[in-house]
Amino acid sequence: MPKLNNSSDPLALQTDVLILGGGPAGAWAALAAAEAGARVVLADKGYLGTSGATAPSNTGTWCVAPGENRQQNVDQRWQRTSGLGDKRWMLRSVDRTYENLLKLAEWGYPFPHDEDGKLYIANLRGPDYMAFMRRRVLRAGVTVLDHHPALELYSDGDAITGAAGLDRQRNRDWRVDAKAVVLATGGCAFGERILGGSTLTGDGYLMAAEAGASLSGMEFTGKYTLAPHGSSLNKGLPFRWATFYREDGTPILDSTGAPLSNGIGEREKEIVNAMIEAPVFAKLDMADPALQGWLRQGQPNCFTPYDRMGVDPFSDLFRVTFKAEGTVRGTGGIRVATSDCGTDVVGLYVAGDAASREHLTGAVSGGGAVNSSWAIASGWWSGQGAADYAKHQESRRFGAISRPLGEAGLRPASSLKTGLTPKDVIESVRAEVIPLDKNYYRNGTGLLASRDRVEAVWRDVRDHLSAEGLDRVRSREAASIVASGRWSLTAALARQESRGMHRRTDFKASNDALTRNIILTGVDSIRVSGETESRKDLAS
Amino acid sequence: MIEIISAGRCVECDICVKVCPANVFDTTDGLPVIARQDDCQTCYLCEIYCPTDALYVAEQADGPTGITEAEVEDRGLFGVYTRALGWRRGKPGGSELDTTHYLRVAQV
């Protein structure tokens, strides 16, 4: 077998639309931009087809057919957003998602049939879905660059003009001049070992903020999902049929004295409380034999840990843990400023978990359905928006006057500091934003102390962290994780109330005056502002 | 995380090098190698893309378990997830048999 070339000649391309990220949002953006007639390059940190949180998993979508009381469905869902949802965005996302799911069916994606023999399009099996999307994207003529992590954006001072990064399997730099860029880089998992977590390091947030884009909802990072202890399987669904115990088999009782069961939804908090005290064990013994079969066949990835451990989860006790999910199943991200998913920065678009999802799901998690629909809808709109914008930039010249925007982790403010490693940086941030007793339950004193510690790490990174060659990917990931943690803590301090997944023990109730988004602008110096009115520029 | 590349099963196609989203593997003149094990996110996708069921990802995400190839072979664990999905020889299959819609009805 031949070895890969180790060419040091940089790759230089010019295109209309550059998409960063190869999960579902990036794939849909690529298809929409190509359909609109744009030349499209998609660069992914990993591999289009396996990257991101969707590919290893199995996800429902928020799928409501026209005529199935869509408005009523949106109204019901809106009640769960604790006032932060925007019904117009919700309705148009449902509509766009449905249209695109029908496209998938027309294109031949092998959906299952329901018990009535009807095609069931409300669920997508991650590996199959993303393998299918890869083939469609390639067939649409998109140039796909796998294993090409982006390091930074370029700007000519007026607009975004492209991005640069590293071809990590050939150890060479790349730069793509583009008339528009779509960030579909996913959320930030803060280094948690969850499905998709290794590539989801918040890179897009840092790149966007360096360009001047705002972030919104970064305080909503308090979402955790149960998993077999030590595993990567942050999938809540099987725990619907779980009962919970201490190690010796004693049932754990809830606040009313009844044995704890059903680990998703309302009971989650009780399990968290139990886990803060001592290890928690579970078995899925509420699933009858028919359900066991459906679980195994429908959610086979959930059973990989048990089968490999040699545990029968339907009868044996196994230890469970809560996996932190950052902004992946949280809702914060880059603020969406226009109806075509433009950001506050000209020429820069955003899709999927890289974007704030507050307008769809508010302060509660969009994991499981809303986020996957948002990836489809926002991917589509951002691709179209970027292609339309690019069409109007025919005369734009590339190159000469563009400059790179990357700072932290790439171009330190002062000298290098030995002993400062990306791994240590990430561990320091994790110590503040992962533990249940710091981040599931929050309070002002604790948040302030965490913010100060993360602030110190940030200053170190800003001033001293840098790397050469391939190591730039890791130093930039570390910079993105510490920046994301710092934004999250800043927003959590600003929201002096409890709302959805933001639980303040010092402000247990929600405050009507805070029924608004907390918007952050700036990388080193962070400006906090609120948005009271919902977006005015929504066209459709 | 990824622990085993079976020399007996591997055909040196290097698909795992290509598809791993975390860039865990490297090519060599022979078998691919696990070059950056700690970057593995335990997503099992390399296993299903492998056309010869030559890879084994252990269930512990934080560090290796030390399981041996002989044990994986004895317990029939090579390709077990691939078969559960209905993928074959590294190609998708089986999504049309997904039973998740029954779970959605039952979970309410």
Task: Look at A305 and B59 and tell me if their CB atoms are within 8 Å.
Answer: yes
Tell me the per-residue pLDDT of A345-370, one tens digit each, with 9 for 90 and over. 999 999 999 999 999 999 999 887 99
At A242-284, the pLDDT tens digits run 999 999 999 999 889 999 999 988 889 999 999 999 999 999 9
Identify the pLDDT of residue A9: 85
Per-position DSSP letters for A27-40, written without gaps between them: HHHHHHHHHTT--E
| A252 belongs to a structural domain | yes
CA pair distance A344, B60, nearest whole angstrom:
42
Q: Which residues contact B3 (CB under 8 A, 6 or more apart)?
A: B34, B37, B56, B57, B58, B64, B65, B66, B67
- In angstroms, the CA A216 to CA A333 distance is 6
**Residue A168 C-alpha, separation from nearest chain B C-alpha, in angstroms:** 8
The answer to whether residue A128 neighbours chain B at the CB level (below 8 Å) is: yes
Q: Which strand (E) or helix (H) includes residue B3? A: strand B2-5
pLDDT of residue A415: 78
Least confident of A254-258, A401-405, A477-481, A535-539: A535-539
Domain boundary among A307, A324, A341: A324
Say which of B12, B23, B100 has its CB closest to residue A46: B23
Percent of chain A with pLDDT over 90: 90
Structure confidence at residue A539 (pLDDT): 37
- Average pLDDT, stretch A114-138? 96
Q: Is the complex ipTM more than 0.85?
A: yes
**Is there a contact between A359 and A371 (Cβ–Cβ < 8 Å)?**
no
In a domain, A97, yes or no: no
Q: How far is B6 from chain A (nearest CA, A)?
A: 17
A241, pLDDT greater than 60? yes
DSSP A253: B
Contacts of A193 in chain B (CB under 8 A): 41-42, 61-62
Q: How far is CA A93 from CA A57, A75, A84, A96, A519, in A?
A: 22, 14, 16, 5, 22
A378 in B contact zone (CB under 8 Å): no
CB contact under 8 A, B41 and A228: no
pLDDT of residue A18: 98
Minimum CA–CA partner of B108 in chain A: A240
A46 contacts chain B (CB < 8 A) = yes
Mean pLDDT of the region A284-292: 97
Mind listing the pLDDT tens digit for each residue in A462-473? 999 999 999 999
CA distance A271 to A322: 9
> Looking at residues A132-149, what average pLDDT do you find?
98
pLDDT at A11: 96
Could you please report the per-residue DSSP string of A191-239? T--STTTTT-B-HHHHHHHHHT-EEE-TT----EEEEETTS-----GGG
**A8-12, A37-41, A125-129, A433-437 — which is least confidently predicted?**
A8-12
pLDDT computed for residue A52 by the predictor: 96
Give me the CATH code for the B2-107 domain, please.
3.30.70.20
For CA atoms A311, A315, A317, A323, give the dihedral sign.
positive
Q: What percent of chain A has pLDDT over 70?
A: 96
- The residue among A1 and A351 whose pLDDT is bigger is A351
Flag whether pLDDT at A537 surpasses 70. Answer: no
What pLDDT, on a 0 to 100 scale, did the predictor assign at position A1?
A: 33
Banded pLDDT at A460 (limits 50, 70, 90): very high
A-B CB pairs within 8 A amount to 165
**Between chains, do A296 and B27 touch, taking CB under 8 Å as contact?**
no
What pLDDT digit, counting tens, does each position of A391-426 carry? Answer: 998 776 665 689 999 999 999 988 777 789 999 999
Residue A431 lies in a domain: yes
The answer to whether A10 faces chain B, any CB pair under 8 Å, is: no
The per-residue pLDDT for A397 is 67
Considering only CB atoms, which chain A residues are within 8 Å of B23?
A: 46, 147, 168-169
Residue A536 has pLDDT above 50, yes or no: no
Q: What CATH number did the domain enclosing A523 receive?
A: 1.20.58.100
Check whether A182 has a pLDDT greater than 70. Answer: yes
In the listed set A324, A351, A385, which residue is the last one of a domain according to the structure? A324
Secondary structure (3-state) at A485: helix
Domain count, chain A: 2
Identify which has the larger pLDDT, B37 or B106: B37
Mark which of A290, A309, A324 sits at the end of a domain: A324
What pLDDT score was predicted for residue A115?
Answer: 85
Neighbours of B105 (CB within 10 A): 11
Is the overall model pTM greater than 0.90, yes or no? yes
A230 inside domain: yes
The tokens describing A259, both together, are 């044995």
Calpha distance A488→A215 (Å, rounded):
10
What is the residue-averaged pLDDT of chain A? 94
Sequence-ordered list of residues with C-beta below 8 angstroms from that of B64, at least 6 positions apart, any chain? B1, B3, B37, B58
Residue A486, in any domain of the structure: yes
For residue A431, is pLDDT > 80?
yes
Q: Say yes or no for a CB contact (<8 Å) between B98 and A45.
A: no
Average pLDDT, chain B: 97
Tell whether A218 is covered by a domain.
no
Q: What is the CATH number of the domain that holds A250?
A: 3.90.700
A535 has pLDDT over 80: no
Q: Which residue of B has its CA nearest to A192?
A: B41
Domain with A262, as residue range(s), is 224-324
